[in-house]
Structure formats: structure tokens, C-alpha cells
Amino acid sequence: MSKIILVSNRLPVRLNEDGTPQRTTGGLASALAAVESEKPQHWVGWSGNSLENTPDPEALRESMAKLDIVPVFLSEDEIDGFYEGYANATLWPLLHYMAQRARFENDWAEHYRRANEKFADAILEIVEEGDTVWIHDYHLFLLPAILRDRMPNLKIGFFLHTPFPSSEIFRVLPERQEILQGLLGADLIGFHTYNYLRHFRSSLLQILGLESDMDHLYLDGRRPSFGVYPIGHNHKGFHEAMAHPGYLETHAEMSGSLKDRKLILSVERLDYTKGVPQKLAAIRHFLENYPQHRGNVVFAIIAVPSRESVDEYAELTEDVQREVGAINGEFATMDLAPINFLHRGFPPHELAAFYSLADSCLVTPLVDGMNLVAKEYVDCKRKKFNARPGALILSEFAGAAPEMPHALRVNPYSVSEVAAAIDQALTMPEDEMWERTRAMQDHIVKNDAGAWANRFVADLEEHSCDLNEDSGVSDLSVLFDSFKSQGQKALFLDYDGTLRGFENKAEDAVPDSELVPLLKRLSKHVRIAIVSGRPKEFLEKHFAGHGFALVAEHGYRWSRPDSPEWALVNPLVDVSWKEDVIPHLEQATQVTPGTHIETKPSALVWHYRLADPEFGLWQAHRLLSELTETTASLPVAVHHGKKIVEVASQQVSKGSAVEFLINDWNCRTALAVGDDQTDETMFAIEADIQNYHTIHIGGSDTRANHLSDIHHFRSFLEELADHLEA
Ligand code: GDG
């Protein structure tokens, strides 16, 4: 039976004192346990210790295998470079918009690459055809592409637990292209929020120049998809914790020591993204400006130690402890210190008791992928578990904010706003607290961690890996037979984007060394015309003398096979409209850096390939609407192609040239192939012949009958040559 392989840096295991591994049921593990699939789940992840500190790696591997776990062993150097370095000191701050904290070291990137390779090796030990692999988080950005390369048909999902920042931040990363390409190896890429998805797509455009639809793109014959999957909390786990006998004990103890005082809770890993110093500043501001609450309220700050070996985190801990001491020194009375700083973790039933008793929970990260504490707090407000009513104060910069509209929303950088929210929470009527809580509970329970995992896995399983229409690539072998039929046959081939990929400078996009020999093989059996928007000089330079017909400038002029003479396809073309159009293109060029005008005999083209992609596109739309008005009564066609706006004489088109050649050559079978809007004129002709096939290279918005991409189309031409020679 096929299986699901889960991959994360950390494994859901802990080592007993005797070194034997034992499964744990923390966050991700419990979410995945709820996946309603019969497929067995296996887990691949870092063993948690350095190789140097693992006395018997083979024995550990064997005992983990019994738990369906494959450990990845990393040396101390690898842990420093990959985990502490690239993942936590480069990517983590950058993904959280803290570019000034991010550190960049070449060695780290190299360790990161190698560690991702090691994860791939470990997966390959157990993976079989038909399995599904679900990779988690920023430690493993390169893994999807590495796996794709080694097993092209594997179903691969990726989920990012952190934010995906604006492309303005992401582009700071020296390895930005490699990281995006790594991710694009996945079939499905999931984010917590719509904004993260939006930023990711904008990075694809700005950094890789890849245009995408809202939830997918076509790439090398594949269709990587994207989606929004806000993670939920472990609902079942917290309800079990509240049913634990220790829960009521802790609850009673804490209620006793609180007496009539109100409790304001915060729970987080001590990480600079969580905004603990800012929270302390807000608490100080609150104590100074709302003196009526002093003595009646106590703040419990549960700060779980995190990454303590890193200097920056050790400094953060010191700063926080110093400030807690200062505030307590200033505001404590004989029987009460306002802040209880609890620098440790608690068992789940004790944490649940904290949630259930707290009159407010102060969740104020500066940036947070999701933040589960907010959801857990709201879920633990249950009367049947003796919970007190409470109000959630939530940073607008947490991924959870859009899902929790009934929280008191704050900007964590504004001390006065947070202090006012604390006052509002403390004075809120109980009925309102329960109303706000109930209004959020239903949603977060229905979308808990298990529901999240189920939805992602279901979408991933549904994602089609087949090379069919769905993935943007048709099976072109159906065309072979008609090329074996009787009568004259012809191929009408666009050049840029069809036989050759794009380059930033058009002159760099020259044919590769295999193209002309391949076309020559084909031309022994079928007629070939290169039908391009390029000037005649370019086509002559690269394709003359091989027996192909050349159609230049989108069908304006052509030369017969082996003839150096060029003739106009339609000798009666009128181009006097150019003087009306040129001023508009000049204006667009002046205000859009990186654009230029190309003048062709029968067309004018405004190019914006080198402009900022989003700004260029916006200006192109403005130009198009201007031109639609200006050219209403002129004999031209205006079209928006790939990074161009073209105004061309209506009397000239690739389609008319193809019609002309089909008649001139007396074709019975023809195939026209192209990627651009100008090629649609070839697809639209009604050729009165036995077989007229059309292939569009790229997305699916076309009149052509078949879809392909450059890579698959080239393979098709090679196979066609083999067939014709057979
Ligand atoms: C990353 C993203 C995203 C905390 N103290 C105790 C304890 N915890 C548990 C909480 C909660 C978890 O730790 C913290 O989760 P968060 O979501 O708040 O934050 P990160 O650890 O930074 O997680 C984050 C998450 O991934 C999931 O995608 O939401 O944005 O940064 O579950 O309950 N648990 C126990 N005792 C404690 O003292 N038992």
C-alpha cells in the first residue's frame, strides 16, 4: 500500500534515558494523526542530536525504523551551518521581516544545500512509486526540487509555517532564486494566509520572472499549485488536558493564590518575533497610566526558553529579565509583584488551567506565521471546565488575526494601544466576553489542526501529476499518424517561446546547436516554415540555406526555401497609421524605465521585459486602453503579448501568411505551433485541408487544440523525426 511520508526538521520523538526513542504527540504529530487516510504514515527528520553525540547511529536507526521513522544524522558542523546558521539566523529573521537581523554566510548556504540533500537521501531509502511526501517548513525549502529531480512522478506537498514576506524583503536573500526554484519542485505549496501567498507569487514574478495564476502556474510541463491553509490548534489535545485530573488541581491552586485579582496571561517561545520587550513596555505604560488597576491585576508571562545557545536569544532573555525586574521593582507592593515571569514550559493540563483562568490573554507578536496560543486560549474558555470568561488581545500582525475578528486587535508597537486594550479587557462585561469567545470558538474548532492536515492532504492527493491537459501538456503522439498520411505536409513554427526560451535581450535568444539539425531531418519529409515576429536579418542569419521557408515580421514578408529573395506576403499593406501611434508609445517609454520601442515595417512594438514586472504590466494596461481609443478607426490590430504591446497592420498576420503558404504548397496536412497572441491568428484560420493541427506553448487560454511547453514540444519534434524516418 502506498504511504504518506512526513518530513520536518524535528521528529515527533524523544529519547529515553537509555537512548531508546519514544513517539511524542506534540503539535504537528497530533494534527497528522487525525488525517483520515488509510495510508500508513512514516516520518523523516533530523535525529535531534549531533552525529558526534550519537553513540550508536545504526542502533538508533533500527529502533526508529520500528516507529516508522527515518532519522537524518547531522554532524556538529552541519547543525551549526544548516540549522543554527542558514535556517535560524538567515531565513527565520528574513521571513519575519527582520532583514537587519539576518546574517549571511556562504558556508551556511552550502551546509543548507547539503542538509537538504541528506533529507532527500533519507526519504529515498523508504519512498516507493505512488507515495505522497509532505514537507514542512523553511528548513527544507530546497527539498521539493531535489526530490522532483530524483523521482519526477512523486507527489510532493510543502507547507510553510512562517510568513512569506513581501518580495522587497525576500529578494535580500542571496539564494532567493534557488530557494524559489526549490519550492517549485512541489505539486502543492501551502501558506497560512492569503497575504503570504500573494507575496510568494509576487516573488516568483519579481525574482524568477514567472507569471502565475492565483493558485497555480505552468512550469516545464508541470502545474505547481498554491493554496491558503491556516493551521489550527490541537483541539482534542486541549480538551483531553482539561479532563486530566491534574487540571482541576492546578485550577484550584491557582484560583486560590489569585484571590480576587485578575490574571493577564501571555505564552510564547522567547523569540524576538514574539515582541516580549514591546509587551513589557506596554505593561509599564499600562501600570503608569491606569493606576486604578494596580494591585488588582497580575501578569503571568510564560516564556518558553528557545535557541538558548544563540547569543542573540541569550541577550533577549537577559533584557527581558532585567525589564521584568525593573517593572516589579517600581510597581510591586508587599504582597504583590505585578509580573510573574515564568521562564519554563508547563505540562499541557497546567497550561490549559492557565488559559481557562486568565481574564485576558495578551498575544502580541511583531510578526507571526499563525500563532496557536490565541486559538488555544479561546478554545479553553469552557464553562464545563470551570473556565472564567476572558478577552483575547491579539496583534494584527499574527497570521491568526484574520480568523479571529472578535479579539481586541492591537498594533503591538503601540504601547498606548496595547495598554488601552488591557484596560478594555479588564472592564469588559462578562456577557460580552462570552459572546466574543463563542463567536470564534465554532470556527477554530471546525478548523483545528486535524481539519487543516486533512484538507492539505486531500488537496495534495487530488493534485494531478499526469502529463495531460490538466498539467498544461497534451499527449502529442496522437499527431504522428496524420504525418504518415498521403499528400504534402507542413510545419509552421513560431520561434521565440516555441523553439527557444526567452532571454532578457532578444539578440541572446539564438538557436541551440541541436535545433537546425533537427529541423533539417524533418524537412526531408515535411515542408517547414519558421513563422516569426523577428526581422528578416535574424531569420536569415540563423535559418537561411537549410531548405526552410522563412516568414518574418509576423507575416509581413517571406522567402521561399533556399531563396535569398524576400517578398511581401501582401504587397498592398498601408502603414501610414504609424505616425498617429508613435507618440503614445514614446510617452509610455518616457515614464516607464526599462522599456523601448521597436519599429517593424508593418508594426510598432512597445517592449517592457526589462521594466519592473508589476509596474510594466500596469503601464501596458494603461497604454492598451489609450490605444484602443486612438486606433478605433485605423486599419490596425492592437495586442498585448508576452511583455509587449504591439500595434500591427490588420492586413498582416501570421495567420494570413500560413493560409497563403498552405495554398501555395498545396498542403493536405499542416501543424501550426506558437506561444504568443500573434500565433492565435494561425490557430484561428479555417484551413480547408485534411488535417490542420494547432499547438499552443504555455498556459491554456488559447484557440489551439493542443497544449505543450518548449521542453515537451522539442521532444515531440524529435520523436516525429524518428517516426518519419522509420
Ligand atoms: C511556528 C510559527 C505557527 C507554549 N508554551 C507551552 C506550550 N506551548 C505551545 C503552545 C503552542 C505552541 O507551543 C506555540 O505555537 P505558536 O503557533 O504560538 O508559535 P511557534 O512555536 O513560533 O510556531 C507559528 C506555528 O509554527 C504552527 O504553524 O503558528 O506562527 O512561528 O501550541 O501551546 N505547550 C506546553 N507547555 C508550555 O509551557 N505544553
**Residue 469 pLDDT > 50:** no
Check if the beta carbon of residue 4 is closer than 8 Å to that of residue 33: no
Asked whether 163 lines ligand 1 (CB < 6 A), one says no
Please give the pLDDT value at position 464: 64
Q: Is 304 in the pocket of ligand 1 (CB under 6 A)?
A: yes
Q: Is the pLDDT of residue 305 over 90?
A: no
Single residue among 398, 429, 446 that ends a domain in this structure: 446
- The β-bridge relationship of strands 391-395 and 644-649 is unpaired
Q: What separation in Å is there between the alpha carbon of 374 and the centre of ligand 1?
A: 10
Closest ligand 1 atom, CA of 399? 30
CA of 399 to the centre of ligand 1 (A): 13
Distance 372 CA to ligand 1 centre (A): 6
50: CB partners within 8 A, 6+ apart: 74, 75, 76, 79
Closest atom of ligand 1 to 192 CA is 28
Q: Looking at the predicted structure, is the pLDDT value of residue 612 above 70?
A: yes
Phi, psi of 3, deg, nearest 5 = -130, 170
Q: Are residues 537 and 640 in the same domain?
A: no
Give the tens place of pLDDT for each residue, 226-276.
Answer: 999 999 999 999 999 999 999 999 999 999 999 899 999 999 999 999 999
Long-range CB contact pairs, 147-152, < 8 A, 24+: 147/120, 147/123, 147/185, 148/185, 148/186, 149/185, 150/120, 150/124, 151/124, 151/127
Judge whether 127 and 42 are in contact, CB under 8 Å.
no
352-376 pLDDT, tens digit each: 999 999 999 999 999 999 999 999 9
Q: Is 348 in the pocket of ligand 1 (CB under 6 A)?
A: yes
Question: Ligand 1 test: best mutation among 164, 267, 340, most atoms within 8 Å of CB?
Answer: 267
Which pLDDT belongs to residue 28?
84
For residue 536, the model assigns a pLDDT of: 93
Query: What's the CA dihedral at 514, 520, 525, 528 to 10 degrees?
Result: 100
Looking at the structure, tell me whether residues 211 and 299 fall in a common domain. Answer: no
Coil, strand, or helix at residue 292?
A: helix
pLDDT in tens, 56-110: 999 999 999 999 999 999 999 999 999 999 999 999 999 999 999 999 999 999 9
Residue 234 CA: which ligand 1 atom is closest? 32
Which of 136, 370, 447 is the pocket-test mutation for ligand 1 (most atoms within 8 Å of CB)?
A: 370
- 606-614 average pLDDT score: 93
Q: How many A from CA of 268 to the centre of ligand 1?
A: 7
C-alpha cell, 16: 529515553
- Residue 466 pLDDT more than 50? no
- pLDDT tens per residue, range 161-189: 999 999 999 999 999 999 999 999 999 99
pLDDT above 90 as % of the chain:
80
C-alpha cell at 220: 516545464
Classify residue 365: in a domain, yes or no.
yes
**Angle, CA 190 vertex, CA 188 and CA 193 arms, to 5°:** 150
Q: Which of 547, 698, 581 is nearest to 213 (CA)?
A: 698
Cell 558526534 maps to which residue?
Answer: 52
Instruction: Check pLDDT > 90 for residue 33.
Output: no
Task: Check whether residue 262 and residue 364 sit in a common domain.
Answer: yes
Is 70 exceeded by the pLDDT of residue 216? yes
Q: Does the pLDDT of residue 53 top 70, yes or no?
A: yes
295 in a structural domain? yes
Quick one: CA torsion of 50, 56, 59, 60, rounded to 10 degrees?
-20
Whole-number pLDDT of residue 220: 79
- Is the same domain home to 515 and 606? no
What's the mean pLDDT when you consider all of the chain?
Answer: 93
Looking at the domain assignment, is residue 611 inside a domain? Answer: yes
User: Within 10 Å of residue 414's Cβ, how many Cβ atoms?
Assistant: 14
pLDDT at 465 over 70: no
Q: What is the tens place of the pLDDT at every residue in 503-516?
A: 777 888 999 999 99
Asked, for residue 520, whether it belongs to a domain, the answer is yes
pLDDT above 60 (res 573): yes
What does the chain come to in residues?
Answer: 726
Q: Which pLDDT value is given to residue 700?
A: 66
Which CATH number fits the domain that encloses residue 413?
3.40.50.2000
For residue 31, how many other CB atoms are within 10 A of its CB?
23
- Do 241 and 224 lie in one domain? The reply is no
Domain assignment of residue 451, yes or no: no
**Ligand 1: does its nearest atom lie under 6 Å from the Cβ of 27?**
yes
CA 269 / ligand 1 centre spacing (Å): 7
The pLDDT assigned to 375 comes to: 97
**CB-CB contact of 50 with 12 (8 Å):** no
Identify the sign of the CA torsion 474, 475, 476, 479. Answer: negative
Strands, sheet with 596-600, edge to edge from the N-terminal-most edge strand: 596-600, 603-607, 644-649, 636-641
Nearest CA to ligand 1 atom 27: 161
pLDDT value at residue 471: 55
pLDDT digits (tens, 9 = 90+) for 133-153: 999 999 999 999 999 999 999
- Assigned C-alpha cell, 511: 538557436
- Separation of alpha carbons 627 and 634, rounded Å: 11
Residue type, 650: Q
- Ligand 1 atom at minimal distance to the Cα of residue 274: 22
Residue 467 in this model has a pLDDT that exceeds 50: no
What is the pTM (predicted TM-score) of this model? 0.82
Farthest-apart Cα atoms in the chain, separation: 104
Q: Judge if 137 and 26 occupy the same domain.
A: yes
Contact 370 CB / ligand 1 (< 6 Å): yes
- What is the distance in A from the centroid of ligand 1 to the CA of 345? 11
Do 224 and 272 lie in a common domain?
no
Among residues 598, 632, 649, the one where a domain terminates is 649
Q: How far apart are the first and last CA of the chain?
A: 41
The answer, yes or no, to whether residue 579 has pLDDT greater than 90, is yes
Query: What's the pLDDT at 592?
Result: 94
Query: How far apart, in whole angstroms, are the C-alpha atoms of residue 218 and residue 207?
Result: 17
Task: Please check whether residues 79 and 201 belong to one and the same domain.
Answer: yes
Structural domains of the chain, count: 4
In a domain, 195, yes or no: yes
Torsion of Cα atoms, 125 then 129 then 135 then 141, to 10°: 80
Same domain, 427 and 527: no
CATH number, domain at 640? 3.30.70.1020
- Mark whether 562 and 679 lie in a shared domain: yes
Range with the poorest average pLDDT among 97-101, 342-346, 470-474, 481-485: 470-474
The Cα–Cα gap between 89 and 111 comes to: 13
218 falls within a domain: yes
Answer yes or no: do 63 and 166 share one domain: yes
Residue 271 CA: which ligand 1 atom is closest? 22
Q: Is 395 in the pocket of ligand 1 (CB under 6 A)?
A: no
Instruction: Report how far ligand 1's centroid is from the alpha carbon of 334 (Å).
Output: 34
Active site residues: 494
Atom 4 of ligand 1: nearest residue by CA position: 268
For residues 192 and 230, is the Cβ–Cβ distance under 8 A? yes
Q: Is the pLDDT of residue 584 over 50?
A: yes
Q: Which of 687, 719, 682, 686 is nearest to 697 (CA)?
A: 682
- Give whole-number Cα distances, 604 to 521, 539, 636, in Å: 35, 19, 10
Domain extent at residue 210:
4-228
Q: Is residue 461 part of a domain?
A: no
* pLDDT at residue 254 in the model: 94
Of ligand 1's listed atoms, the one at least distance from the Cα of 400 is 29
Are 548 and 434 part of one and the same domain?
A: no
Tell me what pLDDT residue 316 has: 92
The b/e string for 314-345 (b: 16+ C-beta within 10 A; e otherwise) is eebbeebeebbeebbeebeeeebbbbebbeee
CA distance linking residue 139 with residue 92, whole number of Å: 9
Q: Which of 371, 392, 448 to mutate to test the pocket of ligand 1 (most atoms within 8 A of CB)?
A: 371
Say how far apart CA 359 and CA 265 lie, in whole Å.
8
Look at residues 627, 649, 671 and tell me which one is the last residue of a structural domain: 649
